[in-house]
């Protein structure tokens, strides 16, 4: 082979490689860019006041005292039926039955504060708040007052 033929062959190979690279770059560029006539107009950027951009995600509202007492506005009878009756209606685990004056008499004699304290903190086999920790102290007191009054007391 002559030097001219080798040089020509080398130049053809280099041309094909460079042409292939340029072609691939152009192909990728056209494939990844959108050419839309509607988007060719200038984009309008709206500047909003910064106070609109930095608004809090949420707000916390603290209930006033009148709305926080709605839960404790439930009557002692309803609280007792929903939470206390399981043991105090049947006498389960030695619980005094609602309406049994003989069982409630000595307990009522201890006083309202003692009965409520025992109900809130628990005593013997009775768990604190009758096992319902979501009850407030006022709700427990209302239930104790109802059960004691239904069993001969006047608390």
Radius of gyration over alpha carbons of the chain, in Å? Answer: 42
Q: What is the dihedral of CA 75, 137, 119, 78, to 10 degrees?
A: 20
Q: Which CATH architecture has domain 73-149?
A: Orthogonal Bundle (1.10)
What confidence category does residue 92 fall into, taking pLDDT thresholds of 50, 70 and 90?
confident
pLDDT mean over 3-13? 88
What confidence category does residue 14 fall into, taking pLDDT thresholds of 50, 70 and 90?
very high
> Are the C-beta atoms of residues 146 and 76 closer than 8 Å to each other?
yes
pLDDT of residue 12: 94
pLDDT mean over 130-146? 84
Kindly state the tokens that stand for 121: 């903190």
What does the H/E/C string look like for 12-60?
A: HHHHHHHHHHHHHHHHHHHHHCCCCCHHHCCCCCCCCCHHHHCCCCCCC
Q: Please give the DSSP secondary-structure letter assigned to residue 125.
A: T
pLDDT mean over 8-17? 93
pLDDT mean over 39-54? 67
Most confident by average pLDDT, 18-22, 51-55, 120-124: 18-22
Q: Which residue has the higher pLDDT, 145 or 43?
A: 145
pLDDT mean over 107-120? 83
Domain ranges of the chain: 73-149
What confidence category does residue 72 fall into, taking pLDDT thresholds of 50, 70 and 90?
very low
């Amino acid at each position: 082979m002559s030097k001219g033929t080798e040089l020509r062959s080398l130049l053809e190979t280099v041309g094909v490689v460079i042409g292939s690279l340029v072609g691939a770059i152009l192909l990728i560029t056209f494939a990844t860019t959108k050419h839309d006539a509607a988007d060719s107009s200038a984009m309008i950027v709206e500047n909003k006041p910064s106070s609109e951009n930095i608004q809090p995600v949420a707000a916390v509202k603290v209930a006033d005292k009148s709305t926080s007492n709605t839960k404790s506005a439930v009557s002692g009878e309803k609280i007792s039926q929903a939470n206390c009756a399981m043991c105090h209606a049947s006498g389960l685990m030695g619980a005094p039955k609602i309406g049994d004056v003989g069982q409630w008499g000595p307990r009522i004699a201890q006083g309202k504060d003692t009965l409520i304290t025992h109900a809130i903190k628990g005593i013997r086999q009775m768990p604190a708040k009758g096992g319902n920790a979501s009850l407030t102290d006022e709700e427990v007191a209302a239930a104790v007052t109802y059960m004691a009054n239904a069993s001969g007391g006047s608390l």
